[in-house]
Chain A
Amino acid sequence: MWLIAGTVPENGFPFYTGGIWEDSKVEGDMLVLPNGKKLPVARGATALAATAIMASQALGKPVPRLLLVGDCGTGKGSDEAYTWLSENLPSIAEKAGLEGLTFHYFYPDLDGHNRVFMALEDLKPKPMLVADAGFMYVAKMSGYATSYDLFAPDIGELAFLADERAPHPFYTRGFLLAEEEDVPELLKRARSHDNCPFNMIVKGKTDYILCNGELYAKVSEPSVEAMECIGGTGDIVTGFATAFLAAGYPICKSALQAARAARYLALFCNPNPETQAAELIDNIGKMLRQNMELIQKE
């Protein structure tokens, strides 16, 4: 089983673990949890989860399971999730098997992260670990970034990973000056400080795939400029990576395919800056059936 853990923007959202034990599904622009609770697929963890579910279904594989908690930024929901995960990961692994986890929008709390990380370290076999968004920020801060299998930063976030002093992208030195041509140097610097894992998808005008610590591939086509404006497009890339990893593809191939899949989805949907992520995600099944050969090519 692959588990996606993240937050949804609803403070009153009750703590619900049913999504770990049963499948969720996507209906139009809504993510539907096993208890019938519907969540809008806009951006963030719901966009990642909906992408992973739609892609897994198109691949004919089991869909990832979900642990979603309500948090509008106060950190309360995230704190509850950190505590619950640190206490319950062993029993989840024992009951359902735990091949991998994708951690997404969490309030970056160092203590919470470290408690979850220690629980993960005790699991045998150790599941594959993917981190993005707030959880990636705190994974870097913790000093345990190299213990993760995949991060999915954009170029600005790569500059944050490369800055050994920055606690958050907001304080990254030279953030806005980070450009495509800086990526190899930023990768080198992030690696030299052990602030990133050996595998990454660096999302940008060109996507850079880091594999086993080396630059593995660059993906720049197809290119749709409007995607930069659309909230949730980065979540879609991480959702694809999750689906490919959960389907058993090797990590470098999963990362490469995820970068390509998001680009073919953009081409398929022809979005403008007003397009919402849910409109893109709704087309994943059709897009994958039409483009899987191109996405998978060596």
Chain B
Amino acid sequence: MAGASWLRKLANGAASLVGLKSIDSSGTNPVSDRGILVFANTSEVIAAERALQEAGFEVKVKGPPPDLQTGCDMVVVFPVLKQAAVEKVLKEARLEPEKIITEADALLDPVSLYQVKDLGRWLMIRAANMKITIDKETGIIVNISGGGCPDVPWLAQQMVGKKFCEAPRPISIGHTLCCYSLQKAYDELKRIRPCG
């Protein structure tokens, strides 16, 4: 990775010398102008993502580089040039990152594909390891399956039996990556079957 980073810097330097757009600013490799916010737990990651998005920052939740991994964890990637403003928003939201670092390693991309299965009266949406099934006539969530994090039974307990437009958003009550996957499936469900 260090070699790749060095090559990228060299390529950017050469590009700027001849007046070309740098590799990083082309959008093909967004790592060099990004910073990473590391939090104590996934709930804070989700809250920070929400607070920063509401404040208009372009942020993304990603898997941490291998040397930062501790378990079921995520980090928030943000434009590092806006670090001060980002920190101000986080302070107002009473969120304090454990670390703020510049990105020096490739990040892993979360699953971004969805699988939609029509089962006649029912519709199942899958994102990563989580699946949500609704009754198409009533809009009621009839089942939630998949996932191995401890908030999956909790999320199912809170959401199954409710109309999906009225059920709590998974990330408002859950904490883990399984919850985050379920949120993605839930968002996709709302995209293909808009509420009200």
Contact = CB atoms under 8 A, between A and B. Distances in A.
Interface of A: 7-9, 40, 42-46, 71-75, 77-78, 105-111, 132-138, 141, 154, 156-157, 160, 165-173, 175-177, 225-226, 228-234, 272-274, 276
Contacts of A175: 111, 113, 128-129
Contacts of A170: 63, 110-111, 128-129, 177-178, 180-181
B46 to A, nearest CB: 11
B152 A43 contact: yes
Contacts of B131: 228-229
Contacts of B145: 43, 228-234
Interface residues of B, number: 54
Contacts of B115: 176
Nearest to B73: A167
A168 B157 CA distance: 23
Contacts of A75: 41, 71-72, 150, 175
Contact of B72 (A9, A43, A45, A137): A137
A107 B111 contact: no
B177 A168 contact: yes
Nearest to A106: B150
Contact of B122 (A111, A137, A229, A233): A229
Task: Give the residue among A170, A171, A226 with the most B Cβ atoms within 10 A.
Answer: A170
A172 B150 contact: no
Contacts of B109: 171
Interface majority SS (helix, strand, loop, mixed), chain B = mixed
Given A78-B150, A136-B148, A176-B128, 9 more contacts: A44-B150, A107-B150, A133-B149, A134-B150, A168-B72, A171-B109, A172-B128, A231-B160, A273-B143
6 contacts: A9-B150, A78-B150, A108-B149, A231-B144, A272-B122, A273-B122
A7 B73 CA distance: 19
A253 B156 CA distance: 32
B108 interface: yes
A108 B71 contact: yes
A71 B148 CA distance: 13
Contacts of B152: 43-44, 73, 105, 231
Contact of B142 (A154, A156, A229): A229
Contacts of B128: 156, 169-170, 172, 175-176
B62 to A, nearest CB: 8
A272 B126 CA distance: 18
Contacts of B148: 105, 108, 132-137, 157, 169
Nearest to B70: A110
A272 B160 CA distance: 15
B133 A229 contact: yes
